[in-house]
Amino acid sequence: MKTRISFKLLLGVSLLLFVVAACTPQTETVEVTRVVTEEVEVPVETEVEVPVEVTRVVTETIVEEVMAEEVAIGSEEHPIKVLFVPSVDVDVLISSGEVLADALSEATGLNFEVSVPTSYAATIEEMCASPEDT
């Protein structure tokens, strides 16, 4: 019974494919040639120079902006930022951080600024916002 249904299905699909293949339109390429006997005038653009008379002179003032020298990192104007994640009491972190900053200042001669952002995400944000300062 199964093979009979499979055979009928295969026969039906084959018949459908033959019908579709036979009904497809056949394209035929026809070359069309036509002899043109009339003449057409095509307008050609020409350039005409128009004399320009200078009636006034405009003077320009050029202003140059001079870039200010960058303050060296680690100076008093631009200290290195030391950031701590707020995992414990903020006052404890700041006082411990100040001790660390003082020790680093004595060892390197550079200035450090200790801060504790409000969250871990804020710490990462601060580091990404100014990577040369942290």
Q: Is residue 111 part of a domain?
A: yes
CA angle 71, 73, 76 (to 5 degrees): 75
Calpha distance 89→95 (Å, rounded): 10
Which residue reads 């390197």 in tokens?
Answer: 108
Q: How many domains does the chain have?
A: 1
Domain boundaries, position 95: 80-129
Give the tens place of pLDDT for each residue, 58-109.
778 888 887 777 788 888 888 999 888 888 888 888 888 899 899 999 999 9
**So what's the pLDDT on residue 16?**
82
Q: Is residue 73 part of a domain?
A: no
Q: Is residue 15 part of a domain?
A: no
Q: pTM of the entire structure?
A: 0.47
In 3D space, the residue among 84, 78, 80 whose CA is nearest the CA of residue 124 turns out to be 84
Q: Is residue 60 part of a domain?
A: no
Mean pLDDT value of segment 38-57: 79
Q: Is residue 13 part of a domain?
A: no
Q: Is residue 96 part of a domain?
A: yes
